[in-house]
Chains A and B, each alone.
Chain A
Amino acid sequence: MARVLAVAEARGGALRGVSREVVTAARTLASELGGGVDALVLGPPGIAEAAGELAGHGADRIFVGESDAYGAYAPDAELRAAADLQGREGYDAVVLAASAQGKDLAPRLAVRLGRPLATDVTAIEVQNGHVVVVRPEYAGKALARLRFTAAPAVLSIRPNVFLPEERPGAGAVETLAVDPEPVRARVQPVEGGERGALDVAEATIVVSGGRGMGGPENWHLLEELGDALGDGVALGASRAVVDAGWRPHEEQVGQTGKVVTPDLYFAIGISGAIQHLAGMRTAKVIVAVNKDPEAPIFDVADFGIVGDLFEVLPRLTEEIRKVREG
C-alpha cells in the first residue's frame, strides 16, 4: 500500500504550527495514492505527547525521536531518522515544510534518497500514479508544473497554503531510536526576534510599510495597527525601506525577500514595484493605502484607500480596535 511520510518540526518543546499543514498535505496526497500517512518528529523529552496531536490531521503512525539534543534543530539526526524510515517503510512520497528547517533539510534528504526535490509546493495531485506538483518560480511570476517519474517524490510545501484539516487518523505514537551523534554541524537553539516567534512568511495577517511611511520613526503607526488586529500579525516592509536601513531585511516582502500568503495583507505607503507584487500577490485579501491613485499596488489590491496614510492609519487602527473589541 502506498504510504506518505510527513516530516514534522518542533521548536522549544512544542510542535511548530506548520507541521499540521505538512500532515494535512501528506494526508491529501496519501488519499489520492490510496494509502496512509506516517509522521516523524524529533524533539526534546516530552515531544511525544505534543506530537500525538498530529493524529487529528490524519497521521496513522507517529514516529518520535526524543533527546535533549533535539531541543534545537538537529539536521544530521533528522537525516538519519528519515532515511532509515524510508529504507524500512519504502514511502512513495516524503512531505516537508518549506520552512527554515524544511528548506535546510529537504535538499539533503533528497540526496540521501537519491531523488529530486520540489520546494515550496502550492498544489499536489496524482496523475497515472505519478505525483504532480505546482510550484511558483520567479517569486510567483510563473507557475511550474512538475511530474515525479520515480518514487519517492520528495517535496516541501509552502506555509499557509495547505490549511490544516481535522481528519482523525489512528495516530499511534511509536518511539524511534535515533542517535544524536555523530554530527557534522552543531545547531544552537533559536534566539527569538523582536516581535516573538512569528515570521512574516507564516503570519495570517501582514502589515507592510513602504517608503511612503516617511521614516523608521513612523513605524509605531504600523505596530499599533498590528496590535489592534490581534494575534497572528507580523510586520513586513518593501525593499526600498529595507535598503534604506529603516527595517531589518527579515521583514522584506518580495522577490529578494519573502513570499507571503496571509489571509490579509496591508500595503501601506507601498507603490507596488513588480518585485514587491511578486511576493504578496497571492495574499487572500489585499488592502492598499497610498496617496497616488495611479500606484500599481491598486492593480492587485482588493480594497484601496487613496489618501494621506498619516490620516488614514490612525483612523484604521481605531476602527479595527472597535470591531475587534465590539
Chain B
Amino acid sequence: MRSIVCIKRVPDTETRVRIAADGVSLDPSGVKYVLNPYDEIALEEAIRLKEEAGEGSVTALCLGPKEAAEQLRTALAMGADDAVLLAGEPSHDGLVTAKALAAEIEGREFDLLLFGKQAVDDDNMQVPAMVAELLDLPCATVVVGLEVSGRHVTARREVEGGHETVEFDLPGVVAAQKGLNEPRYPSLKGIMSAKRKPLEEKEAAAVESSLELVSLSEPPAPEAGEIVGEGADAVPELVRKLREEAKVL
C-alpha cells in the first residue's frame, strides 16, 4: 500500500488568537505550532495500512513555510518513509492550496491519498475533496472507519445523527476524522531514524486566486453574564429568566 499523506503546520488549539497589525494574518508571537491533529490521524492510518500490508510506503507532503519541516520530521518519526515540503505560504483560498498539492501529486504513483478532515487554523475543510476532484479520484470525507480489501475501499463517514458508507476502488482520497484511530506518539527510535529519512524541499506551484481576504478580525468579546445564584435553590429563578427574559423556553 503506497500512501501520500498531506499535512499542515497549524497553531496549537490552545492558542489565544491575536490578529497582526496587517489585519489579515495571525500575530505569530508566542504561538506554538503543531502538526494539525486530524493529519496525525491520517498519518496513523497510512502507517497502519502499510504495516498490515507488510509492504508499501508512506510519503508525507506539506505545503507551508520552511519551518514546517519540523512537522514533516514529526511525520517521519511517526513512521512515514519520506517527506516533501512545498515551500510557500498556505492560502486562505483552499483552491490555491489544492492546485499546488495536486500539481505535486499528479505523476506520483500511489494507492491512497490521505488528509485530515480539516486544518484547525482556517477550518476550510475543502482541500481534500478539491484535490480529489482535480485528480478525478473518488473521495470519502470525515471518515471514522476504513477497510481496504485488495483494491476495494469501504469508508464509514460521519453525517448528522449517523453514518454513511462510501465504497470505491483505489486509487482514491480519504479525509480522516477523530475516531478513525488513536495516533501513535513517535518512539525515541522513530525520532532518531527520522533524522536520516529523506526530506525534499521545493517551491510550491504559483496559483492565482479569485478570493480576496479583506480582513481578519477578532469576534466581539462575549458580554459577561450573570450568576443567578448558588445551588438547586437558584433553579426556579434561572428557569424564569430563560422563559421571560431570554424567551428560549
Interface residues in chain A, defined as those with a beta carbon under 8 Å from any beta carbon in chain B: 72-73, 75, 99-101, 103-108, 110-112, 115-120, 132, 136-150, 184-193, 195-199, 201-202, 205, 229, 242, 248-250, 252, 255-257, 263-264, 273-275, 278, 281-282, 284-287, 293, 298-308, 311-312, 314-316, 319-320, 323-324
Can you show 25 pairs from A to B with CB atoms below 8 A apart? A99-B160, A100-B142, A107-B125, A107-B130, A111-B95, A111-B98, A141-B218, A141-B219, A142-B19, A144-B122, A146-B212, A148-B212, A185-B138, A188-B165, A196-B161, A198-B161, A205-B248, A264-B248, A285-B242, A305-B234, A305-B238, A306-B230, A306-B231, A311-B231, A312-B232
Verify if B193 is at the interface (C-beta below 8 Å from A): no
In the complex, what residue of chain B is closest to A301 when comparing beta carbons? Answer: B225
Residues of B within 8 A of A132 (CB): 214
Q: Do the beta carbons of B225 and A303 come within 8 Å of each other?
A: yes
Tell me the minimal C-beta distance from A41 to chain B in angstroms. Answer: 17
Nearest residue in B to A111 (C-beta to C-beta)?
B133
Chain B interface SS verdict (over half): mixed
Q: Given A188-B164, A302-B225, A308-B231 in contact, is the A316-B239 Cβ separation under 8 Å?
A: yes
User: Do A305 and B130 contact each other (CB < 8 Å), given the known contacts A137-B216, A142-B19, A312-B235?
Assistant: no
User: Does chain A have a CB within 8 A of B149?
Assistant: no
What's the Cα separation between A324 and B239 when bound, in Å? 11
Assess A144 versus B216: contact at CB under 8 Å? Given A198-B161, A323-B239.
yes
**B238 adjacent to A316 (CB under 8 Å):** yes
Asked if residues A185 and B226 are in contact (CB atoms below 8 Å), the reply is: no
Partner of B163, one of A149, A191, A281, A308: A191
Contacts of B217 in A (CB 8 A): 142-143, 145
- Measured CB to CB, the closest approach of chain A to B50, in angstroms, equals 23
B161 contacts A193, C-beta separation under 8 Å: yes
Once the chains are docked, how many angstroms separate the CA of A18 from the CA of B246? Answer: 24
Q: How far is the CA of A278 from the CA of B16 in the complex (A)?
A: 10
* Cα(A240)–Cα(B94), bound, Å: 31
CA gap between A275 and B128 in the complex, in Å? 24
Q: Determine whether the beta carbon of A146 is less than 8 Å from that of B242.
A: no
Q: Give chain B residues whose Cβ lies under 8 Å from the Cβ of A307.
A: 230-232, 234
Structural contact, B232 and A324, CB atoms closer than 8 A: no
Closest chain B residue to A106, Cβ basis: B126
Contacting pair A185 B249 (CB below 8 A): no
B53 touches A (CB below 8 Å): no
